[in-house]
Structure 1
């Protein structure tokens, strides 16, 4: 049975964006200050938690916007640094993905697509862009955000990472 591009990407993005809300809430409940949470990183040369959350939104909502435009690049804006701002960034991506017409996403599968950053330019098919570039980046940033909070002592477990799985009903 063939699977649509929408089915291969959007539901899992929504699942982990939802999970990330829970990570932020657990960090607050655990007593992690907003500043400590937003600036937390695993090692000095790695970007902080707030950037990881921003990048989850960028490699979900931003990736689809990139497909529409035929070009995608990094989001160089500063990430939100408050819990409310982080939640808002996640919610914005979730609302965008929920409103996305599956047929529209699937219709973008044959269009032009490239990644651009400074002089770096990589041509992609839209399918390869989503499945070999944006989706792995999305998972990287989700995992890194989760790991930053775990390394900060926040009591998160695997079910916190997975969130609401899509189990067969009935």
Structure 2
């Protein structure tokens, strides 16, 4: 892991915030409360939209903190409104922007022990590539899918976000 991956977390969370802005515009145009999206889910046994966003933010900040050997900021997990959930994304990206390349020099040496793994652990690079990155994108994808299912007009470009094209 290095600063480039942190920047990708920032970019993807920023795209998620843009998706949420589109959802708010969708709700406004159809004259309903955007906060209704907070409890939407794809299936009865799946997590809500709000939970998907919280977990994506937590995954990004905890992953970056773990591999930079820092303590991640703690959040209350009590966002009740669309605005509060968007603030959580901003708070997360602001934290990620404080990390420097030098913070990640020994990330392969980090021993990752997920709370649900019964004491088993993964080496840092294995945890990052096999667990943390897929988990982050899973939850962002679920948030996107929930809004698409709810009728918000979104496309792949909304998910990917802006690209830094170079001129020939």
**Partner in structure 1 of residue 143 of structure 2:** 145
C-alpha displacement of 1:144: 0.3
SS in structure 1 opposite 2:119?
A: strand
| Distance across 2 between alignment mates of 1:87 and 1:109 | 32
Aligned partner (choices 5, 26, 44) of residue 30 of structure 1: 26
Q: CA distance change for structure 1 residues 87 and 71 in 2, over 3 Å: closer, same or farther? A: closer
C-alpha displacement of 1:69: 5.7
TM-score (normalised: structure 2): 0.85
C-alpha displacement of 1:79: 4.8
C-alpha displacement of 1:168: 3.6
**Partner in structure 2 of residue 167 of structure 1:** 165
TM-score (normalised: structure 1): 0.84
How many residues end up aligned between the 2 structures? 163
**Partner in structure 1 of residue 12 of structure 2:** 16
Alignment of 1:1-170 (within 5 A): 5-7=1-3, 9-31=5-27, 33-67=33-67, 78-117=77-116, 120-168=118-166
* Greater mean alpha carbon deviation, residues 20-29 or residues 105-114: 105-114
| Distance across 2 between alignment mates of 1:125 and 1:168 | 36
Q: Which structure has greater strand proportion?
A: 1
* Unaligned stretches of 5+ residues in structure 1: none
* Greater mean alpha carbon deviation, residues 160-169 or residues 61-70: 61-70
Q: CA distance change for structure 1 residues 8 and 129 in 2, over 3 Å: closer, same or farther? A: farther
Contact 1:70 1:112 in 2 (8 A): no
C-alpha displacement of 1:156: 0.7
Query: Aligned Cα RMSD in Å?
Result: 2.5
Q: CA distance change for structure 1 residues 70 and 112 in 2, over 3 Å: closer, same or farther? A: farther
C-alpha displacement of 1:77: 5.5
Contact 1:112 1:125 in 2 (8 A): yes
Q: CA distance change for structure 1 residues 23 and 11 in 2, over 3 Å: closer, same or farther? A: same
| Distance across 2 between alignment mates of 1:69 and 1:104 | 7
Contact 2:69 2:103 in 1 (8 A): no
C-alpha displacement of 1:40: 0.6
